Structure 1
């Protein structure tokens, strides 16, 4: 501080200056330009005490920014942004109970995930075995429904299978949110660990074959569609596997695919075992698959379908038509290249999912606040709540118009209505505009600053 005072007094700062004796009482204290102006602004004491960077937001108010010197990477910055700005908003408005459980450090640090979905005996487990060049602990392959549980194939020091209840409580694994599905599901979930160079970069989620008829809905002791939706939100890539002999998309499989709504960019369709039919049959099978997918995936774009035979056996072409082994090899190379790009895109995907979550939390806060505002102060609360539940579509439209929000970001009305029936709307809290402004500033300033400061840690 004395050196700063001497420099401001006109002395040249050098090693000789340190040897010169000065009367400390004759020195003026250091002057900081702009400090008086900053202190004259009436600000919240928490902002002054806890932040080394203060920035004026678009609304003209001061907002707290995370000092980049305390951040080591993009992922570390997202963790701090979540704890300081997004998680308080989620906790206040019960976002974790309605939409998605709260995130933990393991959710940010987890390796990219690839989930495989399909009906039984479409080659999901064989696909993983083909990529690993070996089977994983607990893998069963056969023409009948063999995989009866969700299996997370991860990297580990030795080969072992860990039961689901144990996996869900381990802090270093990103599966804590599965506890919401209860012990009935956790008994049908396991983690298979093995040392493998591919698993150092990617985690595979093997799933039970989707059943047909009422067995899917009544004979499973857990919410299969809900679990699939949870894994879809965590996954970086979702592979829908089809068999040339199992092209029919049952009502249950359609429900599962519908649960992937909002993750269309992650979905890849694989027509597996394509070498089991001839050229003419393959052409008809491809057309039938595209027709079936067109009825389920309500998108104007054409879904990319990879054709191949992903197993350890050499490709065997039935006839010598124009679509021979070369076609299958090129299609398989395209899909494998897509898989190789997953670790490079993991950081972008993580930021994308974080931004989607922040937007969803904002809209959830607006919904809960509007529900609270619509409730009467004294009498008739039960009837008012039932009226709000019955007219949720109108409520969503009102919030959308009032706050100029995109309709695609709103939750599914039917699912939200079912969840809302178990709560007392009168107990909800009013929204704090300061929290909403903090999330807006996070999206507008903090995340772009992170991207400009740090490089992709997965490259």
Structure 2
């Protein structure tokens, strides 16, 4: 089972040097990003049709970020070359022999332009622009984010950062959104690679699944029939193999884990980052979790908010895999709380019935039915959740139990799951837009709640009594807000969790409703986000 997400660039060193020279010329502002406007000028020299160039851009910019890095630029050039040779430009070319042997395309007039540039840069040595630290990182430390010019936005993610700092963050800060719902976003939150979260009881094969995907072990991986993973482990790309303690990783500005500091030292001591160089980890980050407790073990309470941590990761992740073992189908109380904490992220959840080759076909049918029944009681949704059946490890499938029918089923299911995983990097930018819009709507509702509670407080006496009454009847107040502003009940936060946080605040000190801020966020969702997507769509339509 192989997960080849991005084709490996196999062009010769000679061609690579030529492409470096071309990239440096095409990237007019030298920021390491070949944008749509730059592409229109540069690709015109290929004399391909607009429709062909549209396909070239769509395939090369597979993540839909609105620009090409050097690697994607090389892929685009190889596609242009094949287009000039008469090939139909499709995704299938990426894995073809023709792609591996493609020569540089003919670009009319490029040699003359390069000669002119060389004359101007006689004393300068051409080299590909190294990956720059994102200039947008300075936006989050600047005294005034309002000074960020629109011209400095060169991708969809940059645009989201600018919109967040200028229009959404002021609303979040004013109404304490970061204390009640989610920490304020940082530059690294926007730039983070897509993440896959694995949840399940102990010994359901979470760590083995990650090793199976990587085709190798990783620092800190332990496997056994007993609970072996006693901490949250983030498996991500790095220059060498090493484990970084949680307290260290949480304070690194270039890592998207600063929000975990709110769970305290007890959690951070049970959190670590495992880094290693691996082609798959350049595109996806895996999050392994401790086994969910069941039976007698549930009586031993964890020293940190396990459900809160899973909820935090669920909001950040692009895909959530719930792993089950055919012999461990019971959904414990802790597992119920964990699944409930995933509310609002249903579109990310996939269920994996692992180790399915340990039972015969008849038993597997019964187990599948029992699993769906158990999940139906916990999830309380009419839709049937997607369940992948297989044996995700490096061992040979047990033919004596599963039989030829089982083998065929497992292979198809694994292919389907692989297809889901392959789509993660391609959909990463779309997911960021989706999460940004969800956050903006949640921040608006939070502002309505906070301002409504403030409005109910008396002007002079009896404030403490009025506050306690509001907290006790918070569910009733939620209904009032829903009716007043015509808001869907499903978008409101968990009442009990909100009560718990609210009890530590003085409601009288909250801000009144700022209609101008609300209107700014409404305009952002109605006009700014669509315009951003329009600006960085395929330059050829």
TM-score bracket, normalised by the shorter chain, equals 0.7 to 0.9
1:201-247 Cα shifts (integer Å, max 9, x gaps): 00000000001146446431100000000000000000000000101
Provide the C-alpha distance between the structure 2 equivalents of 1:67 and 1:155, rounded to a whole number of angstroms: 32
For residue 345 of structure 1, the aligned residue among 427, 430, 433 is: 427
Secondary structure of 1:151's match? strand
TM-score by length of 2: 0.71
> Does structure 2 retain, via aligned residues, the 8 Å contact 1:116–1:205?
yes
| Alpha-carbon distance, 1:393 to partner | 1.5
| Alpha-carbon distance, 1:413 to partner | 1.1
Instruction: Give 1:441's aligned residue.
Output: 523
Secondary structure of 1:137's match? coil
Provide the C-alpha distance between the structure 1 equivalents of 2:216 and 2:224, rounded to a whole number of angstroms: 16
Instruction: Give 2:163's aligned residue.
Output: 81
| Alpha-carbon distance, 1:401 to partner | 1.2
> Over alpha carbons, which structure has the higher Rg?
1
> Does structure 2 retain, via aligned residues, the 8 Å contact 1:66–1:446?
no
Provide the C-alpha distance between the structure 2 equivalents of 1:273 and 1:432, rounded to a whole number of angstroms: 55
Instruction: Give 2:3's aligned residue.
Output: none
Instruction: Give 1:4's aligned residue.
Output: none
Secondary structure of 1:337's match? helix
For residue 309 of structure 2, the aligned residue among 227, 240, 259 is: 227
Alignment length (residue pairs) = 396
Secondary structure of 1:416's match? helix
Provide the C-alpha distance between the structure 2 equivalents of 1:110 and 1:274, rounded to a whole number of angstroms: 34
> Does structure 2 retain, via aligned residues, the 8 Å contact 1:124–1:206?
yes
Q: Which runs of 5+ in 2 are unaligned?
A: 1-143
Secondary structure of 2:405's match? coil
| Alpha-carbon distance, 1:318 to partner | 2.7
1:322-361 Cα shifts (integer Å, max 9, x gaps): 6321110110011011100000111111111111110011
Instruction: Give 1:422's aligned residue.
Output: 504
Instruction: Give 2:107's aligned residue.
Output: none
Provide the C-alpha distance between the structure 1 equivalents of 2:236 and 2:150, rounded to a whole number of angstroms: 33
Structure 1 residues 213 and 324: CA distance shift in structure 2, 3 A: closer
| Alpha-carbon distance, 1:412 to partner | 1.1
Instruction: Give 2:350's aligned residue.
Output: 268
| Alpha-carbon distance, 1:68 to partner | 4.3
Provide the C-alpha distance between the structure 1 equivalents of 2:299 and 2:309, rounded to a whole number of angstroms: 13
For residue 360 of structure 1, the aligned residue among 421, 426, 442 is: 442
Provide the C-alpha distance between the structure 1 equivalents of 2:416 and 2:262, rounded to a whole number of angstroms: 37
Provide the C-alpha distance between the structure 1 equivalents of 2:222 and 2:439, rounded to a whole number of angstroms: 36
Counting only pairs closer than 5 Å after superposition, residues 382-397 of structure 1 correspond to structure 2 as 382-397=464-479
Provide the C-alpha distance between the structure 1 equivalents of 2:263 and 2:401, rounded to a whole number of angstroms: 49
For residue 209 of structure 1, the aligned residue among 266, 283, 291 is: 291
- Tell me the C-alpha RMSD between the 2 structures: 1.8
TM-score by length of 1: 0.84
Instruction: Give 1:38's aligned residue.
Output: none
- For the pair 1:196 / 2:278, whether they are aligned, the reply is yes
> Does structure 2 retain, via aligned residues, the 8 Å contact 1:160–1:192?
yes
- For the pair 1:164 / 2:246, whether they are aligned, the reply is yes
- For the pair 1:140 / 2:222, whether they are aligned, the reply is yes
Counting only pairs closer than 5 Å after superposition, residues 363-382 of structure 1 correspond to structure 2 as 363-382=445-464
Counting only pairs closer than 5 Å after superposition, residues 40-439 of structure 1 correspond to structure 2 as 68-213=150-295, 215-216=297-298, 218-319=300-401, 321=403, 323-439=405-521
Structure 1 residues 320 and 226: CA distance shift in structure 2, 3 A: closer
Provide the C-alpha distance between the structure 2 equivalents of 1:267 and 1:319, rounded to a whole number of angstroms: 29
Structure 1 residues 226 and 364: CA distance shift in structure 2, 3 A: same
Instruction: Give 2:51's aligned residue.
Output: none
| Alpha-carbon distance, 1:156 to partner | 0.3
Provide the C-alpha distance between the structure 2 equivalents of 1:231 and 1:73, rounded to a whole number of angstroms: 25
| Alpha-carbon distance, 1:434 to partner | 1.0
Provide the C-alpha distance between the structure 1 equivalents of 2:296 and 2:364, rounded to a whole number of angstroms: 31
> Does structure 1 retain, via aligned residues, the 8 Å contact 2:241–2:274?
yes
Provide the C-alpha distance between the structure 2 equivalents of 1:438 and 1:301, rounded to a whole number of angstroms: 36
